[in-house]
Every structure is written in structure tokens, then in C-alpha cells.
Amino acid sequence: MGAHHTEHVERRDLRETAHAAQVRELTAAGVLEDPAWRKAFAAVPRHEFVPWFFTGRGAGYERLWGEDPDPARRARWLRGVYSDAPLATRLRDGELVSSSSQPSLMAKMLTALDVHDGHDVLEIGAGTGYNAALLCHRLGDEHVTTVDLDEEITESARAHLARLGYRPAVVTGDGARGCPARAPFDRILATCTLPRIPLAWLGQCRPGARILAPLSTGLLALRVRDAAFAEGRFLHTAAYFVPLRGAAGSSADRPGQEYGLPYELVENERFQFMLLLTAGALHPREALDLWRSEGRPGRERFGVTVSAEGQWSWLDDPQGPYVWPLGEEEQRGGG
């Protein structure tokens, strides 16, 4: 009994030490400058939301587990949990369906969300529940709603959250439809890559609300005017997420290769962003010519307009001259 208790205390101490070290590292990296988010990351341990994760690819996936009887494998799990990396947390038929996002990217997104006391936030893509817990710590449970299409994911997230005493609204449903029953919202945060912005979200926002969503391989920050119009620019930050369920394509795609574009451009992150953003509107060669003539623009020079008439991406100015129809029709999804 004594030995078991000692081992339990040692495991707890190792986890607390690793958690504290990560908060220090994120702070040193400059992504936790806001004291409120620094406190949230210090209060919410990632390991409680990632009891296991998968490493490797395809048939070679290996499951690392926090309760593994092998101390070396437990140590690998703990190092992974507190690394600044995304972790595969749920697979189906060998395909990744849910993950725990890279902590530094989470911190950047939460900061960019620009929340204030009293704000009501809708999160699209519940994942492990870790992001919702950070929001609950910052805003209070009653101000946080998280939605996912997959009941297994929402049940797991709800259990993780409850174990630490957080009880936001965890809803199983189509994230593309938002959550009308909990509207209106001041902020909507998506943690899954979208082909376009679901128009239903705008109607569930208060005027002036902010939507932050991964699109192409960037983070789009939209200001909502009303139920029929929102507009905004991309942050400079790169962002790779699991696609909205049912959405076509993947952020891991490398379009352009089949057109014989030079390898260094196929692998150029900034060019890939533009290529994905203008897919279907520009031939890859046209995109390349424009990208070069405009000084190889980064993500922050691009933006998106969402209206009842349609959605457009643009370079520098929503009025043109460089404006393209955006993406495909909305599809079912939730994380």
C-alpha cells in the first residue's frame, strides 16, 4: 500500500513538473503575454485531457498511455503530452478524426479571439475538451459552448471537463449549423479546417462579433456586421487542423505538383496557402504568376468577405482587383 501510494505521488509530481515547465516555455516563447491566458494555461493541465495519444502513421500507429505499466512508455507519453506539438487522440479506420492542438497555436488563437469578461463563446470542434477548459477558466462555464458532430468525442470531452470541475455546454451536433439554442454569441472559434464559412454562424452572432476559423492553411479573423455580412483578414500564423467532418480535401494536400511546378514552390508554405485559397478560381500557373508579381504575399495580405450573396477571398483590398469566389458549398461537420 505504501509503495503504491509513493508511486502515485511520484507520478503526480512528474506531471505537475512537466505542466509547469510547459507554461514557462510558452511564456518564454511570447505566446502567453496576456496574464489571464497565462493563468488559464497554468490552471488547466493538458495531461488530464490526453490520457493517451497515437504516434506514427497508418498501420504503424502506436498508442502511448499515461497508465502504461512500463515506466519508460509512461515517460514517453508524458514527454509527448507536454511537447509543443499536436497529438492524434482519436483514429477511425486508420484515419485521424480528432486531435489535441499544438499548445502554442492554441495560445495564439485564444489571444487573437480577443475575449472580454461576459462574452459568450461558441467553439466548433470539441476535441479533447482542453480548449473549452481554458475558455471556461477565463470566462466561466456558463459562457462557453462547444459542439462536435461525433458523440464519442463529445462524451469524452464532457468527462474530461467534469473531472476538473468544468461544465460548459457540450453539444453533439453539426458544427456547420452552429448552436442556435445557445445563441447569440460574441465569439466563434473553429478548431477544424473549413472550405468556407457557414452562413448560419453569422445569424447566431451579436453585431460586432468576431469569428476565428482555420481556412486553407491560415487563421481567418472575421468581424460580423449582421446576419448577412462579415469580413476580415488572415493572421500571419500558419494553422493546420483536421478538416471539418465531410469537408473536401485536406490541409496536408500539396496541390500544384501535378502541374509541374518547381518542388521548392510546391513546398513553399506561403505559396501553398494562396494555391489552396484560390483553388477552383485560379489555375496553379496563374496563381504562381500573380504571387510573384505581387511580391510573394504572405497570409496577412489576404482576406475573405462573407455575405448572403456569396463568399470571396481577396488580396489586399476586398474591392479588387484581385477577388476570387471561395471554396465549395457548406457541408456537414463538427470537428
Residues involved in catalysis: 98
CA–CA distance, 232 with 210 (Å, rounded to integer): 9
Give the chain's end-to-end CA distance (angstroms, integer). 43
For 317, how many CA atoms within 13 A lie in the half-sphere containing its CB?
A: 5
Task: Return the DSSP state at 68.
Answer: -
Q: Which helix (H) or strand (E) holds 8?
A: helix 2-28
Nearest-10 crossing angle of helices 130-139, 35-43: 130
DSSP type of residue 217: T
Peptide bond into 321 cis (omega under 30): yes
What stretch of H or E contains 146? Answer: strand 144-148
Q: Which residue has the cell 514517453?
A: 76
- DSSP class of residue 102 equals P
